[in-house]
Each structure stands twice: as C-alpha cells, then as structure tokens.
Amino acid sequence: MAGTLHLASDAGVATVTFDTPGKLNAISVAMWNELHRLFAALADDDGVNCVVVRGAGGNFAAGADLAEFEQLHADPANGRRFHLDVVLPALEAVRNLPQPVVAAIEGVCAGGGLQVALACDIRLAAENARFGVPVGRQGFPVVLPELRLLLDRLGQNLTAEMLLTGRLLDAHEAQQRGVVSCVAALAEFEQQVAATVQSILAGSPLAARRNKAQIRQLVERRDYTMHDLDASFDFLEGDDHREGLAAFIAKRLPIFKSK
C-alpha cells in the first residue's frame, strides 16, 4: 500500500502521522512533498499552538522509501533534485514552524525519519524506540545540507559514530546522549505525550514562538544585534505578560490571546 500522511486537529493541537503499512512508515517522495505542504499551511494557522509528529502502527518512520531510490539516485542530477528540492524543503518546513513541534517516537526512527524527529523541538521516546542513520549500508553518505541538521542536533562525536558504524541506539542510550528528552514505558507513553503537549498549551503561544525563534537564533548565530536585543523586550508592550502576572497573583489560570 502507498504511504500517506494523516493530519488531525483538536483544541489547538495538530497531529501529523506517517503511515506506510508494511514498510515501517518509510517516507515516499509524495509523503515528503505532503510534509512540506502541511507544515507550510500549519505555519499560517493561528488556531494551532502545538504540533505532534508521530508514526502509525507502533513505529515512527524508517527513513526514505528505498524502493524509489533506483530512480531517485539514478544519477547526480536526480539525486540533487530529490535531496535539495524534496527532502530538504520538507525538513526546513518542520524546523522553521513558528509553533512548538513534539516528536512522539515509538519503534524505528531511522534515516530520514530521524532527520524529521531532529527537526522537531522536543523528542519523546517510548521504551521500544530505536535510532540510527545506517545509510552507509546502502552505499551512500548523508549530503551536506542534511548532515548539518544531524551535527546541529547530535554533535560531532555522536553523528560520526552513528554514520560510520550504522548501529542503532536504544531509547535509554538515546536519552543519555541527548537525542531525546525522556523515555516512557509503552503503557505510559501516550500519557507522557499528552502531558508534554498540555504543558506547552498552558503557556503563552507568543512566548513559545519567541522562545523557539530566539533559541535557534543563538544556537546558529551565537550572537545578536542591538535590534535583536530591542525586539526581545517587545513582550513588555503586549497583553500576555500582564495577563500571566495577573493570573499568578490572583491564583487563577491565565487566558492568553496573543499569537
């Protein structure tokens, strides 16, 4: 069966699900393009304050669909088009989304699936999750723009180890080495995902977007301009900070309205 992406929205949360039956949710070209389209649309949806990315059937995603590679990697021109015009825009759409993105990871999370997870802001793992980039066993390296994402999220040592050995990390080692934030037992995994999402929704959407943008700015540029500094104080002119303080003093839940 052909793979697809499912989108469901409820109470400010959008859930994007990889679903490729029989292939561990391998990501086809059509699915990469749909991932790009969905996240571009979600970026403009002020009704969405958090996005969850996950896989159907107990696995996250096993990477790009290798059944298509005979054509996609047939020659350098085709390979460049696939990676630069299909995969990279999809990963950037996930990474650039203004709203927080949570990866809910069960089972296999490898290759392109791991790249999608790394483009998310928070990664939660079930105890059966496994992580790796065994592309060397298929005879090809990771191209430079995609390698940058691995290095940014995993660091040089772990990226080199995963690429050169091809071995898979289990969930607990992935947590120890900073790939995921936490690991939950399978029976408790959905509860952990829901609690994380609710924690995000309890905060100001404006503050979440600003924190996400400024984290990325300082990680990538390691510096800021005076204009950036001035802009970081814009929240003092908005309503959310006043509402948050008022709610804290009154011992009630805040009602945030800014996006």
Query: What tens digit of pLDDT does each residue of 124-166 get?
Result: 999 999 999 998 888 889 999 999 999 999 999 999 999 999 9
Query: What tens digit of pLDDT does each residue of 74-112 get?
Result: 888 989 999 999 999 999 999 999 999 999 999 999 999
User: How high is the pLDDT of residue 123?
Assistant: 98
| The architecture CATH gives domain 4-201 | Alpha-Beta Complex (3.90)
Residue 117 binned pLDDT confidence (cut-offs 50, 70, 90): very high
User: How high is the pLDDT of residue 237?
Assistant: 84
The pLDDT of residue 2 is above 80: no
Which tokens hold the place of 158? Answer: 């772990």
Residue 201 binned pLDDT confidence (cut-offs 50, 70, 90): very high
Three-class secondary structure assignment of 166-187: CCCEEHHHHHHCCCCCEEECHH
Query: What tens digit of pLDDT does each residue of 15-63 get?
Result: 999 999 999 999 999 999 999 999 999 999 999 999 999 999 999 999 8
- The model's pTM: 0.93
Domain ranges of the chain: 4-201, 205-250
The pLDDT of residue 223 is above 90: no
Q: In what order do the strands lie in the sheet with 108-110?
A: 108-110, 130-132, 169-170
* Signed CA dihedral, 179, 180, 183, 186: sign only: negative
The pLDDT of residue 256 is above 90: no
Residue 220 binned pLDDT confidence (cut-offs 50, 70, 90): confident
Q: What backbone torsions phi and psi does residue 200 show, to the nearest 5 degrees?
A: -65, -45
Contact (CB, 8 A) for 24 and 107: yes
Contact (CB, 8 A) for 259 and 46: yes
Q: How far apart are CA 251 and CA 128, in angstroms?
A: 40
Average of per-residue pLDDT across 61-68? 87
User: How high is the pLDDT of residue 219?
Assistant: 86
Range with the lowest mean pLDDT among 48-62, 200-214, 232-246? 232-246
Half-sphere exposure of 245 (CA within 13 A, CB side): 6
Classify strands 130-132 and 108-110 as parallel, antiparallel or unpaired.
parallel
Mean pLDDT (the chain) is 93
User: How high is the pLDDT of residue 259?
Assistant: 66
